[in-house]
Chain A
């Protein structure tokens, strides 16, 4: 029950039911309108959907495409984590001449459009590197910069007193990092890292533009021979949504578990901004 409205009485409940019916009708009408338009234009014709009932198309086109998508995403995330750790340690360094360049690099890759990076790597090194590596490099730099900020927030989320307590019982700096900071920080960051995987997985589709054979590019092969752009796009969207929704659900469950244990997870918005949960709730 939301705090926005009271537990409804009989009159209000009736009004809510009426509102629900009216709202349902409006939503239903919008959906019906879209479906009718698609139907009138023959988008539900068997010829358009036939390729997706053909197991050959799945085995030879779509599933390999999905494999290429996942391959690029996994490579990119793995490299981005490494790059992110490097950037984060530069950003939090005690030496100004390391800290400032670290911050500049992070801000540059966060402000620069990912596609601009990918196109740059493709135009500069495409002849030698093919299409996979320009895509992976672009994703690595962008996601690495975002992850660096996530890591920093995760480390900041550990209460200062714990670090001071570590020093006061005579632990060295690396022991404090290894035994106190990292175990807690990683747990707090895990949901944010999983959300970043969703972002990276979605962004691999930019490989389409430099003709990397990922899922959407494979879909292009289908819609160019069957002239079924809308059915193809809907099938591809369903595949992406299934994977990403599952990953997002896992992240949400992890956040809920952390909160039950009274820890504060590092939250990230979907645009690469890292925020801390407000404590006062």
Chain B
């Protein structure tokens, strides 16, 4: 118990890093994921093909391997960036594939009549997507995106082995120094992650209620 109190500063710094990683990667992943989803439903075959390949590649590759590729690999081709930035690149590219699928299944939940009505009043593909389908699809995609962000929070832990001192790194280092107090450290850090997950879940439930529309 004392170990937690003595190292509270280190632990909080770790979680600050975890939150920063999550927030930045989430923002990048959502933007990229929406672009990919639009490509996946577009009438232009090459765009559809590219987005589908992207999803298949990044969804089936282990996140750890992406960390190896981007955190260790990028410097070997002369691209320099901080460990933090490289971790954000790996996390965002990985998560974007899942965001794309969440938005796409959101698009699939929009009743066909909506798109047909939009077309019947003469809207183009872009207009249909922008004014009719996407606003409803994004609402339907909010709960799955919320779970994705919770998963992303957990996934940021992989960065601990790649030069980022986030919360899981704190367990790794404190746990080695204070082997007898390992259980307390584990409990404390696990609790931190659970609080983060609950906060994100609560935030998204609020967002869902705010944006709810009567259909």
- With both chains docked as a complex, state the minimum distance between the C-beta of B57 and any C-beta of chain A, in angstroms: 6
Is A6's CB within 8 Å of the partner chain B?
Answer: yes
Q: Judging by beta carbons under 8 Å apart, are B57 and A241 in contact?
A: yes
- With both chains docked as a complex, state the minimum distance between the C-beta of A233 and any C-beta of chain B, in angstroms: 4
Question: In the bound complex, what is the Cα–Cα distance between A269 and B95 (angstroms)?
Answer: 13
Question: In the bound complex, what is the Cα–Cα distance between A119 and B116 (angstroms)?
Answer: 53
Residues of B contacting A270 in the complex (Cβ-Cβ under 8 angstroms):
59, 98, 101, 151
Q: Give chain B interface residues in 66-111, CB to chain A under 8 Å.
A: 68-69, 72-73, 76-78, 98, 101-102, 107, 109
Residues of A contacting B147 in the complex (Cβ-Cβ under 8 angstroms):
269, 271-273
What residue of chain A has the Cβ atom nearest to residue B120's Cβ?
A6
Question: In the bound complex, what is the Cα–Cα distance between A227 and B73 (angstroms)?
Answer: 10
Q: Give chain A interface residues in 81-121, CB to chain B under 8 Å.
A: 108, 111-116, 119-120
Knowing A41-B78, A271-B148 are in contact, say whether A108-B65 is a contact too (CB < 8 A): no
Question: In the bound complex, what is the Cα–Cα distance between A271 and B101 (angstroms)?
Answer: 12
Is A3's CB within 8 Å of the partner chain B?
Answer: yes
Is B19's CB within 8 Å of the partner chain A?
Answer: no
- Partner of A116 from the list B61, B107, B144, B186 (CB cut-off 8 Å) is B186
Q: Judging by beta carbons under 8 Å apart, are B133 and A4 in contact?
A: yes
Q: Judging by beta carbons under 8 Å apart, are A4 and B151 in contact?
A: no
Residues of A contacting B9 in the complex (Cβ-Cβ under 8 angstroms):
none
Is B203's CB within 8 Å of the partner chain A?
Answer: no
Highest count of chain B CB atoms <10 Å: which of A37, A119, A236 = A119
Question: In the bound complex, what is the Cα–Cα distance between A35 and B155 (angstroms)?
Answer: 29
Q: Judging by beta carbons under 8 Å apart, are B77 and A114 in contact?
A: no
Residues of A contacting B62 in the complex (Cβ-Cβ under 8 angstroms):
202-205, 216, 240
Residues of A contacting B43 in the complex (Cβ-Cβ under 8 angstroms):
2, 5, 8, 16, 19-20
Residues of A contacting B155 in the complex (Cβ-Cβ under 8 angstroms):
113
Is A23's CB within 8 Å of the partner chain B?
Answer: yes
Count of A-B contacts judged by CB separation below 8 Å? 182
Residues of A contacting B175 in the complex (Cβ-Cβ under 8 angstroms):
119-120, 123
Highest count of chain B CB atoms <10 Å: which of A111, A209, A236, A244 = A111
Question: How many B residues are at the interface, by size bracket?
Answer: 35 or more
Residue-wise, chain A 1-39 has the 8 Å CB interface mask toward B (1 for contact) of 011111010000000100111111001100000000110
Question: In the bound complex, what is the Cα–Cα distance between A273 and B41 (angstroms)?
Answer: 24
Q: Judging by beta carbons under 8 Å apart, are A271 and B68 in contact?
A: no
- Partner of A205 from the list B65, B115, B182 (CB cut-off 8 Å) is B65
What residue of chain B has the Cβ atom nearest to residue A247's Cβ?
B60
- Partner of A113 from the list B76, B112, B116, B157 (CB cut-off 8 Å) is B157
Q: Judging by beta carbons under 8 Å apart, are B182 and A27 in contact?
A: no
Is B171's CB within 8 Å of the partner chain A?
Answer: yes
Is B160's CB within 8 Å of the partner chain A?
Answer: yes
Q: Judging by beta carbons under 8 Å apart, are A233 and B44 in contact?
A: no
Is B129's CB within 8 Å of the partner chain A?
Answer: yes
Q: Judging by beta carbons under 8 Å apart, are A236 and B102 in contact?
A: no
Residues of A contacting B171 in the complex (Cβ-Cβ under 8 angstroms):
116, 119-120, 123
What residue of chain A has the Cβ atom nearest to residue B61's Cβ?
A237
Knowing A41-B77, A227-B76, A269-B144 are in contact, say whether A108-B60 is a contact too (CB < 8 A): no
Residues of A contacting B138 in the complex (Cβ-Cβ under 8 angstroms):
none
- Partner of B161 from the list A20, A209, A230, A271 (CB cut-off 8 Å) is A209
Q: Judging by beta carbons under 8 Å apart, are B193 and A112 in contact?
A: yes
What residue of chain A has the Cβ atom nearest to residue B155's Cβ?
A113
- With both chains docked as a complex, state the minimum distance between the C-beta of B36 and any C-beta of chain A, in angstroms: 12
Q: Judging by beta carbons under 8 Å apart, are B44 and A16 in contact?
A: yes
Residues of B contacting A158 in the complex (Cβ-Cβ under 8 angstroms):
none
Q: Judging by beta carbons under 8 Å apart, are A248 and B73 in contact?
A: no
Question: In the bound complex, what is the Cα–Cα distance between A78 and B181 (angstroms)?
Answer: 32
Is B8's CB within 8 Å of the partner chain A?
Answer: no
Which residues of A pack against B, CB within 8 Å? 2-6, 8, 16, 19-24, 27-28, 37-38, 41, 43, 108, 111-116, 119-120, 123-124, 198, 202-206, 208-209, 216, 219-220, 223, 227, 229-230, 233-234, 236-237, 240-241, 244-245, 248, 269-273, 275, 278
Smallest CB-CB A-B distances: 8 pairs: A24-B46, A271-B151, A244-B60, A205-B62, A113-B157, A41-B77, A233-B69, A113-B154
Taking A3-B116, A4-B129 as given, write out 14 further A-B residue pairs in contact, using a Cβ cutoff of 8 Å, ordered by the A residue number: A23-B39, A23-B46, A108-B194, A116-B186, A116-B190, A198-B60, A216-B68, A229-B76, A241-B56, A241-B60, A245-B56, A269-B102, A269-B147, A270-B59
| A and B contact pairs by CB, cutoff 8 A, 27 listed | A2-B43, A4-B107, A16-B43, A24-B47, A41-B78, A111-B150, A111-B198, A113-B153, A113-B156, A113-B168, A114-B157, A116-B157, A119-B172, A204-B62, A206-B64, A208-B68, A230-B76, A230-B77, A244-B60, A269-B98, A269-B101, A269-B102, A269-B147, A270-B151, A271-B98, A273-B147, A278-B109
